[in-house]
């Protein structure tokens, strides 16, 4: 393709990407370098129906004047990235400086909000992605084997978890695992343990959220793999059958190699999706046991009455860096395969 044609071909999408992806990210990056300008405080007497007290209020005019001088806020450099709510350099240095062994280090780092969120986010991503893909693959194989007349309904039911809004889905499961809910109460009876509360221990909460994640992410893998199965080379499969290959051997040596590129694609999408896990944390009321990077951003922007834009922007940038690092191996592999094919 001549360069000019190529340019004309990709120009609209390049422009759209610049406008809708690069610009917003750039603005978030700039925002993350600023904090709110210093508020001018003054002592006032304030009275409520209950009492009068000496209080501190913001001197709005002096503060507004500052705001006009510095509309973006005051420049903080990378200060937000290194503060306690994010990478917490000072705290980590202190922990590494004096500690009581590896367990103590892990405990204390895990206590820092960013790392607590990061650990859960990574755990969720790496547990849910492969298991959801496996589940999706298994469903695809099963659906492919059922007779034609039940295929429609079976596909519909397999897709249900994806059709339900994630927040609504997680709320439904949340009520079911409640001690009064159908799952929670059944488990208590099954294990003869009235103290078994799925929402009580962090470990059980994690497991429940993982299972929910697998349930809700399975259908995406299923759809893609099922589409892939429709295009399997039938003659290869038939010759494998003539050679006496069992069903498992056909899957292992024909189906899986054939679907491998699709799996790379599914893994890419699912890694990105799972890394920004958010709804189950809200739905399961699990803030005490599990938070994620996206939840940290939400928490900054949905504060009591003030939004910490700089802090949220810094977490967003760190999330983007995380996604890039996560996808790097997959991207490198795709690049190599592309080069090999080209060669």
User: Which is closer to other proteins, CB of 42 or CB of 333?
Assistant: 42
User: Which is closer to other proteins, CB of 108 or CB of 151?
Assistant: 108
User: Which is closer to other proteins, CB of 54 or CB of 243?
Assistant: 54
Closest by Cα among 318, 273, 289 to 125: 273
Task: Tell me how far the alpha carbon of residue 158 is from its chain's centroid.
Answer: 22
Report angle CA 99, 105, 108 to the nearest 5 degrees: 100
User: Which is closer to other proteins, CB of 98 or CB of 302?
Assistant: 302
- Least distance (Å) from other proteins to the CB of residue 165? 18
What is the DSSP track for 259-306? HHHHHHHHHHHHHHHHHT--HHHHHTT-TTT---HHHHHHHHHT-SS-
User: Which is closer to other proteins, CB of 11 or CB of 65?
Assistant: 65
Alpha carbon distance 144, 123 (integer Å): 32
- Least distance (Å) from other proteins to the CB of residue 220? 28
- Least distance (Å) from other proteins to the CB of residue 115? 13
- Least distance (Å) from other proteins to the CB of residue 215? 20
Alpha carbon distance 318, 312 (integer Å): 10
- Least distance (Å) from other proteins to the CB of residue 75? 12
| 177 within 8 A of 283, measured Cβ to Cβ | no
Query: Count of CB atoms within 10 A of residue 266's CB?
Result: 24
- Least distance (Å) from other proteins to the CB of residue 185? 13
User: Which is closer to other proteins, CB of 84 or CB of 336?
Assistant: 84
Q: Which residues bind other proteins (CB under 8 A)?
A: 35-39, 41, 43-58, 60-61, 63-64, 73-74, 79-80, 83-85, 91, 107, 111, 113, 178-180, 194-195, 197-202, 284-289, 299, 302-306, 308, 310-311
Q: What is the 3-state secondary structure (H, E, C) of 107-131?
A: HHHHCCHHHHHHHHHHHHHHHHHHH
């Amino acid at each position: 393709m001549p360069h000019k044609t190529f340019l004309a071909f990709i120009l609209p999408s390049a422009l759209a990407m610049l406008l809708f992806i690069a610009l917003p990210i750039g603005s978030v990056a700039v925002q993350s370098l600023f904090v709110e300008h210093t508020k001018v405080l003054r002592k006032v007497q304030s009275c409520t129906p209950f009492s009068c007290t000496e209080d501190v209020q913001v001197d709005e005019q002096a503060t507004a004047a500052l705001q006009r001088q510095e509309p973006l806020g005051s420049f903080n450099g990378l200060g937000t990235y290194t503060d306690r709510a994010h990478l917490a350099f000072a705290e980590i240095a202190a922990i590494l400086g004096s500690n009581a062994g590896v367990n103590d280090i892990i405990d204390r780092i895990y206590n820092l909000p960013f790392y607590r969120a990061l650990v859960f986010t990574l755990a969720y991503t790496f547990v849910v992605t492969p298991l959801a893909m496996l589940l999706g693959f298994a469903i695809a194989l099963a659906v492919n084997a059922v007779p034609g007349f039940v295929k429609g309904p079976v596909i519909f039911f397999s897709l249900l978890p994806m059709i339900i809004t994630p927040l609504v889905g997680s709320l439904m499961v949340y009520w079911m695992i409640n001690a009064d809910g159908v799952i929670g109460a059944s488990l208590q009876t099954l294990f003869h343990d009235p103290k078994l509360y799925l929402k009580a221990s962090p470990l059980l909460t994690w497991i429940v959220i993982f299972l929910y994640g697998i349930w809700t992410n399975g259908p995406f893998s299923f759809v893609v793999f099922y589409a892939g199965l429709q295009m399997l080379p039938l003659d290869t499969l038939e010759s494998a059958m003539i050679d006496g290959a069992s069903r498992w051997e056909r899957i292992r040596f024909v189906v899986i190699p054939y679907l491998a590129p699709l799996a790379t694609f599914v893994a890419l999408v699912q890694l990105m999706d799972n890394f920004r896990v958010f709804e189950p944390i809200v739905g399961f009321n699990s803030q005490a046991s599990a938070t994620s990077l996206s939840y940290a951003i939400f928490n900054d922007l949905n504060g009591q009455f003030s939004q910490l834009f700089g802090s949220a922007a810094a977490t967003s940038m760190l999330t983007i860096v995380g996604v890039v690092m996560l996808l790097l191996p997959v991207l490198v592999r795709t690049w190599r395969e592309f080069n090999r094919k080209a060669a």
